[in-house]
């Protein structure tokens, strides 16, 4: 019997996308978000073609195209010499090869576009300031006020909905730290490429930089190893943490060090991931996005995986008995997530290489044509979600 009503816990990218994807199949949903307002938290996002084609299908991409940036390429650059090591073409190449665009934008821009679409859809209801007690099914139903056919936990790496799923994943510190900040484009140093995504690579650290066109700014993320700390990903860094950041990048190009030294307002973001575990309870509750499989950002696929999850779950839930749909969803999605985890781990190893490994990396990458490097990403960017 097809489901008719869904409760979605969390109004982030995963939850908002899930509501729109369900509405596409005529399924009504209510999103419960504990925050009183959806504020502009976070920083930049890279939206690759596997996700942008879903946003196009849901009618969201059209509003993003005039304001986001479509980089011409993703560049890998030495953090010491500033010499380009390799590049992957994007721009028109991405549309031709993978059938959809590659864009960069602020997280809040994507969230607003999804939110506007949700608010305009009569099958979607958003309840802000509505924390959900998920300690057990009875408490949850009392909070929601009525019975529903499906509960979707889209409440992030620190998900409370997991308690309803026996054997669910749990958060664990990855051993990595990200420092995030933005720079006004007008005052950004010349080493930052105004039209592309650049990953500066160095020993035990890397720095990802790209323009956020609609904000007139650069998104900058510095990634290194570090110690566990508060799980507040929007925490302002202390002076001691800022000093730690500078130590991690000692020996880098002086222009990069000067840029980092001038940043007094970076956010200190310990990177937590989700351990392996079950994504559903075999009956009526399922986890998606970071609640199910939070991963390291070294493949730039966190938002894309949340979008894919939401879209594919909706299609399966609309076409099969719910128990069968949940089993198929987990069985279908887990191999892709596992492969992306492996890719992210490989990227971290390659980006942070030092000594002879770094030299070998640079030689191998410099010998490969951009189109060859792009072909390595076909399984990620060329992926077509179920139902497309």
Domains of the chain: 5-171+273-381 (3.50.50.60)
The pLDDT value recorded for residue 228 is 62
For residue 388, count other CB atoms closer than 10 A to its CB. 15
Q: Where are the alpha helices (DSSP H) in 39-122?
A: 49-57, 61-64, 91-98, 107-119
Contact (Cβ atoms closer than 8 angstroms) between residue 169 and residue 274: yes
The pLDDT value recorded for residue 244 is 79
Type and span of the H or E element at 198 = strand 197-202
| Residue 63, phi then psi, degrees to nearest 5 | -75, -20
Residue in 55, 50, 87 with CA at minimum distance from that of residue 71: 87
Contact (Cβ atoms closer than 8 angstroms) between residue 160 and residue 132: yes
Q: How far apart are CA 338 and CA 346, in angstroms?
A: 12
Work out whether strand 5-9 and strand 150-153 pair parallel, antiparallel, or are unpaired. parallel
- The rounded radius of gyration (Å) of the Cα atoms in the chain is 21
CA dist 377 to 89, 94, 99, 169, Å? 11, 11, 13, 27
Which token pair is 372?
């060859």
Q: How far apart are CA 345 and CA 351, in angstroms?
A: 10
Q: Tens digit of pLDDT for each residue in 116-168?
A: 999 999 999 999 988 887 776 777 777 776 789 999 999 999 999 999 999 99
Q: How far apart are CA 166 and CA 140, in angstroms?
A: 16
Q: How far apart are CA 206 and CA 224, in angstroms?
A: 7
Q: How far apart are CA 118 and CA 153, in angstroms?
A: 18
The pLDDT value recorded for residue 201 is 95
| Residue 320, phi then psi, degrees to nearest 5 | -140, 160
Low-confidence ranges of the chain (pLDDT < 50): none
């Amino acid at each position: 019997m097809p489901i008719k009503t869904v409760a979605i816990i969390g109004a982030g990218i995963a939850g908002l996308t899930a509501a729109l994807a369900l509405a596409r199949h005529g399924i009504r949903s209510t999103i419960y978000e504990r925050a009183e307002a959806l504020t502009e938290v976070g920083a930049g996002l890279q939206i690759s073609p596997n996700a942008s084609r879903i946003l196009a299908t849901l009618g969201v991409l059209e509003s993003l195209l005039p304001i986001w940036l479509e980089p011409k390429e993703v560049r890998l650059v030495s953090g010491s010499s500033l010499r380009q090591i390799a590049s992957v073409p994007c721009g028109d190449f991405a549309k031709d090869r993978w059938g959809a665009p590659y864009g960069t934008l602020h997280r809040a821009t994507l969230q607003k576009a999804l939110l506007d679409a949700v608010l305009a859809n009569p099958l979607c209801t958003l309840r802000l300031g509505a924390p959900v007690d998920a300690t057990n099914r009875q408490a949850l139903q009392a909070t929601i006020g009525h019975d529903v056919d499906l509960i979707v936990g889209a409440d992030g790496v620190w998900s409370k909905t997991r308690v309803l799923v026996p054997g669910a994943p749990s958060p664990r510190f990855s051993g990595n730290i990200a420092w995030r900040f933005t720079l006004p484009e007008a005052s950004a140093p010349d080493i930052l490429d105004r039209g592309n995504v650049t990953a500066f690579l160095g020993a035990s650290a890397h720095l990802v930089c790209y323009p956020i066109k609609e904000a007139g700014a650069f998104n900058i993320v510095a990634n290194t190893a570090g110690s566990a700390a508060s799980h507040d990903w929007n925490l302002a860094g202390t002076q001691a943490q800022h000093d730690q950041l500078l130590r991690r990048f000692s020996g880098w190009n002086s222009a990069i060090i000067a840029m980092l030294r001038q940043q007094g307002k970076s956010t200190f973001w310990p990177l937590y991931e989700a351990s392996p575990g079950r994504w559903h309870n075999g009956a009526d509750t399922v986890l998606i996005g970071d609640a199910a499989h939070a991963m390291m950002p070294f493949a730039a696929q966190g938002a894309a995986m949340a979008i894919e999850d939401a879209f594919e779950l909706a299609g399966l839930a609309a076409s099969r008995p719910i128990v069968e749909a949940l089993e198929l969803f987990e069985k279908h999605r887990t191999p892709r997530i596992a492969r992306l985890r492996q890719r992210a781990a490989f990227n971290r190893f390659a980006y942070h290489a030092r000594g002879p490994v770094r030299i070998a990396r640079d030689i191998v990458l410099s010998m490969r044509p951009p189109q060859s490097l792009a072909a390595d990403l076909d399984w990620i960017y060329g992926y077509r979600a179920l139902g497309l």
